[in-house]
Amino acid sequence: MTLPSPFSGPHPLSRRVVGFFAVMIAVTATVAILGVILGMMAEFVTQGGGELSWAFLTEFPRNSNMEGGIWPALAGTTLLVLLMTLMGVPIGTATALYLSEFARKDAWFARTVRFAVNTLAGVPSIVFGLFGVGFFIQFVGVGLDAATGSVALGDGSLLWSSATLAVLTLPVVIVSVEEALRAVPLELREASLALGATRFQTITKVVLPNAVSGILTGSILAVGRGAGEVAAIMFVGVTYSAEALPNAVTEKFMHLGYHLYVLATQSPDVEKTLPLQYATTLVLLGLTFTLNFSAIIIRSRLRRH
């Protein structure tokens, strides 16, 4: 007879069998997902890796995008994402501040804002694109043009694409900043207020500095989401070919995701551009990976202090 192991609990055999299968399923699923990801990466690298070069990154496309590099798309994506962040993060942070610091929980206005944010998060990106056309271009842009006598704003542009993406990524920013604000201990706020600080001083000197990691994370998540977004900017300023980088925010721009879409569907010879598509995908993935990785680094750095 074997002695019972000190670690075998009072669980009946049936429960242990169920547990075993649950673990097996989880492990299998994880391995399968990893396999798919690695398989995809291998495919991209073997098919597109040969095209990757300094020239590919720094040259303009040639011959109807059939040859050459992706420089304007890379630069356009970067500019787009930068502008989007500059517009979206301050507004998102301000909204999160209002919701978590100023609004009473039962205030109808705060409830409405919260409901709108949650709804916004579930809206398909193409709808944001249409909103961009209707609101930013037709209403704001054309309106401003009419008022100032210019013609610069009433058409798709880097500016309106960034604005559209800023709206699209707003929920991500608001939710992560709000989470970070809520994580600031009540004791810290009370200590500040008890020392004679006003609410506003408490927010700028105590609450926000302690929520920096959340604000950064929200921004980077938003950037990651915005960098890969195509549908939302399709009608608001992206273009399939450009002679030069945009000189002003009112000009059109190229974009990695859209470039990929153009290569895959609009090219005179789609088969021939496959290596270019894979290489472009690699760059886009690399960009997203770098962003997420830097988000992780920044968070752990800040947490240590």
Partner 1 sequence: MAKELATKIHSSKFSVHYGSKQALFDVTLDIPERRVTAFIGPSGCGKSTFLRSINRMNDLIDSVRNDGRMIVDGIDVYDRLVDVAVLRRKIGMVFQKSIPFPKSIFENITYGLTLNERMSKSALNDVVESSLRKSALWDEVKDRLQHSAMGLSGGQQQRLCIARAIAINPEILLMDEPCSALDPISTAKVEELITELKDTYTIVLVTHNMQQAARVSDYTGFFLLGRMIEFDRTRTLFTSPSVKETEDYITGRFG
What's the closest the beta carbon of residue 179 comes to partner 1, in angstroms?
Answer: 18
Interactions with partner 1, residue window 101-140 (CB under 8 A): 104-105
Compute the least distance from the CB of residue 185 to partner 1, in Å: 7
CB of 198 to partner 1, least distance (A): 5
Give the interface size with partner 1 as a residue count (CB under 8 A).
20
The partner residues of 238 in beta bridges, in order of sequence, read 253
Nearer to partner 1, 66 or 193 (CB): 193
Instruction: Give the per-residue contact string, 159-188, with partner 1 (x = CB under 8 A; - = no).
Output: --------------------------x-xx
Region 72-101 residues binding partner 1, contact defined as CB under 8 A: none
Closer residue to partner 1 (CB): 7 or 105? 105
* DSSP state letter for 4: P
Window of 8-16, 189-197, 212-220, 271-279 that interacts with partner 1 by CB under 8 A: 189-197
Which residues have CB under 8 Å from 86's CB, separation 6+?
162
Torsion sign across C-alpha atoms 153, 158, 162, 164:
positive
- CB of 175 vs partner 1, minimal distance in Å: 23
CA angle 241, 243, 246 (to 5 degrees): 90
Contact indicator for 222, 88 with CB cutoff of 8 Å: yes
Instruction: List residues bridging with 139 in a β-sheet.
Output: none
Q: What is the DSSP letter of 238?
A: B
Beta bridge mates, 68: 61
Instruction: Decide whether 198 or 300 has the Cβ nearer to partner 1.
Output: 198
Contacts with partner 1 in 195-254 (CB under 8 A)?
Answer: 195-198, 201, 205-206, 210
Q: Figure out which of the listed residues 77, 85, 95, 192 binds partner 1, where binding follows CB under 8 A.
A: 192
Please tell me the distance from the alpha carbon of residue 11 to that of residue 228, in angstroms, as a whole number: 48
Estimate to the nearest angstrom the gap between the alpha carbon of 63 and the chain centroid. Answer: 32
46 contacts partner 1 (rule: CB under 8 A): no
> Dihedral sign, CA of 48, 53, 55, 60?
positive
Q: Which tokens hold the place of 230?
A: 């195509």
Residue span binding partner 1 (CB under 8 A) among the ranges 120-128, 152-160, 191-199, 254-262: 191-199
* Dihedral, 203, 205, 211, 215 alpha carbons, nearest 10: 80
- Whole-angstrom Cα distance, residue 239 to residue 217? 30
Least Å distance between CB 188 and partner 1?
Answer: 6
CA gap 278, 284 in Å, rounded: 10
Minimum CB separation of residue 182 from partner 1 in Å reads: 15
Between 119 and 204, CB nearer to partner 1: 204
Q: Site residues (CB under 8 A) for partner 1?
A: 104-105, 185, 187-198, 201, 205-206, 210, 305
